[in-house]
Each structure stands twice: as structure tokens, then as C-alpha cells.
Amino acid sequence: MEFKHISVMLDECIAGLSIRASGVYMDGTLGGGGHSSEIAKRLDKDGTLVMFDLDKEAIAFASKRLEPFPCHKIFAHSNFKDFKQVLAENKISGLDGILLDLGVSSYQIDNPERGFSYIADGPLNMAMDADSPLTAEVVVNEYTETELERIFKDYGEERFSKSIASAIVKYRREKRIESTLELADIIASAVPAKFRFNSGHPAKRVFQAIRIEVNGELSSLNDCILSMFREGLNTGGRLCIITFHSLEDRIVKNAFNLLSSDCICDKRLPVCVCHHKKEGVLVNKKPITPSEAELEANPRAHSAKLRIIEKL
């Protein structure tokens, strides 16, 4: 299957990074290399681009795509949360810009063998790193009913978390759940008929929740954002983050608000006692969202939000 992925808010991200030709930049979510190729295009032979991805196929594809550009290119088969180690190994002391696109690539969604889709049959995988021992099949078949309910509620904001978890546990007593459509059918059967297709496919939120659990997408995200900003960025550097659901966006929004606030005291206090000083400034007060033209060309960008902060 050919590696295809449409980069979300490409022009807005490039503008937000305010790229300097000889600067050092990081793409924490390489994917098909759409954002990275546009960054690399603006760098000269003295510029550096560090790229992270857990998917070896993505790295192989993107490395060929970026061959024509003269900048120094570093590909890391790693999670962006390991950025400090990778920067240290490559003797990079600071970054002029960081981009994180927290979505799943179209290639992964559209390839049934990766197990992300609830409308195409495939093995229950969902691991962005093909070598990961934790897969959706492990989560669905080996997590307790209480754990499943918590994941569906916390990561999927699924209102029928309890009944869906119960249905999964009941089904797996007879046989192991092995395919995406098998799981999707179990989920649909646990949702009351009148709510089943009210807001898209009934399995959408649960599949999202399992994907987040398998890949640890929200674990320590807040700490990672603060660390990237404080320990990764140079003064004047920018951190740009694209989110695709409310849980991610809330974490990013709160982290950016903390970094750009002079006072974080309880608003009921008459005077400031925290002595907190802002470390950055929001480039846009409100998140940037895709244009109507982009949404028409790429409906999957519908829930995307881009937030940008610059280090003082």
C-alpha cells in the first residue's frame, strides 16, 4: 500500500514556525513527511531538521522524499517524548522551532492491516510502532472490565462505556476477539439502538480510546510539552501543536496558558503570591482551524486545532 497522507494546515504550520534558513527544527510526528518536506525546503545546508516517528515505514518513505534538500537531516525511530536523548546524541543544544501533529496518518487509518479502522476488517493492532508488544488485541482481551470502562470513558468520552466494556468481557469468555469488525459489531450491539448512529459510527470513540491507550498518546503529554518548551526551544523559538480531539487540545491549551501567564494564583486571592512569570507568548489567542477549502479537500481535518507559542 502506497504511503499517502495529507498534511493538515500545512501553510499555517509553516508560517507559524517562522523558519530561519540556518536554524534547527524538529518535527516530532514525521508521518509521510509532508510538514517536514516543507520545513526542509526552507532550510539551507547549514540548517538542521530532526524528525521522529515510531513507524519504520513512515521513516523509510519520508527519507526518500527529503533526499533533494541540502539541510542536515536526522531521522529518529522513537517517540518525540525522547527528544532530549536524541538531541544530546546529536550534540544539538537548542531548537528554533518544534512541530507536533498529534493525529494518526491517513496511511495508518486506511491500511486495514494496521487495525485502526472500524469500517474495514483487519487484525486488532493499532500500534504505531510495529514492534510494540502492546496492541489493541491485548487491551480488548486482557484488560479487566473496570480498566476497559475507564479507558473508554477517559480517552473516548464514551457515554456507554460501562455497557460496552461489559459486552466485550461477556463476548471474550466464549472466544478471543481478533478483528476490527468483530470488535466494532460488539460495540454497536452494546449501544442502545436509538443512539447507535446519532454521531457517526458507534465504535468511533471506543476505537479512539483504545488507540490512545495502546500508543500512550496522553501519558505525560503535559510534562513533555513543558519540557520541550523549557529545555528544547531557544529564545524566540516556537512550538506548534496540532490536536484532533478535545482531550489533547485541553492538555495543550492548559500547558500554553501556564507558560504564557504572569500569575497562576487562585483568582479569589486579592494579590498575587505565586510570583510566576510568563515564559512565552501565544502567537494566536484562539486556536487556528482549517479553512473551508481545506475541509472540502480533506474532511479528516475537521476537528483539527493548531496552537502556537513563542519562547521569551
DSSP 151: H
Per residue in 160-217, pLDDT (tens digit) is 999 999 999 999 999 999 999 999 999 999 999 888 877 788 999 999 999 999 999 9
For the beta carbon of residue 170, count every other beta carbon within 10 angstroms: 12
pLDDT in tens, 84-136: 999 999 999 999 999 999 987 766 777 888 888 898 899 999 998 888 899 99
pTM, two decimals, is: 0.88
Which of 173, 198, 215 terminates a domain? The answer is 215
CATH number of the domain bearing residue 249: 3.40.50.150
139 and 176 housed in the same domain? yes
Domain boundary, last residue among 186, 215, 244 = 215
The rounded Cα 10 to chain-centroid distance in angstroms is 16
Same domain for 95 and 236: yes
Please state, in angstroms and rounded to a whole number, the distance separating the CA atoms of residues 103 and 106. Answer: 9
The domain boundary, picked from 184, 215, 246, lies at 215
Strands 72-76 and 48-52, how do they pair? Answer: parallel
CA proximity to 57, closest of 118, 93, 126, 107: 107
Q: What does the pLDDT look like over 28-42, one tens digit per residue?
A: 999 889 999 999 999
- At 304, the amino acid letter reads A
Grid cell at residue 300 = 479528516
Q: Which of 95, 103, 91 is closest to 30 using CA atoms?
A: 103
pLDDT band at 3 (very low <50, low <70, confident <90, very high): low
- Amino acid (one-letter) located at 121: D
Task: For residues 253-281, give the mean pLDDT.
Answer: 90
Q: What is the pLDDT of residues 211-261, one digit of tens each?
A: 999 999 998 899 999 999 999 999 999 999 999 999 999 999 999 999 999
Residue 275 and residue 260 share a domain: yes
CATH code, 124:
1.10.150.170
**Residue carrying C-alpha cell 495502546:** 214
176 phi and psi, to 5 degrees?
A: -70, 140
Instruction: Report, as an integer, the average pLDDT of 268-288.
Output: 91
- Mark whether 77 and 130 lie in a shared domain: no
pLDDT for the residue 273: 85
Which structural domain, as residue segments, surrounds residue 144? 117-215
Is 1 inside any structural domain?
Answer: no
Looking at the structure of the chain, the number of domains it has is 2
Claim to verify: residue 270 and residue 229 sit in the same structural domain: yes
| Residues 211 and 121 both lie in one domain | yes
Cα separation, 146 vs 276, in Å, equals 40
Q: What is the pLDDT, as a whole number, of residue 158?
A: 95
Are both 208 and 123 inside the same structural domain? yes
Considering the chain, what is the average pLDDT of its residues?
93
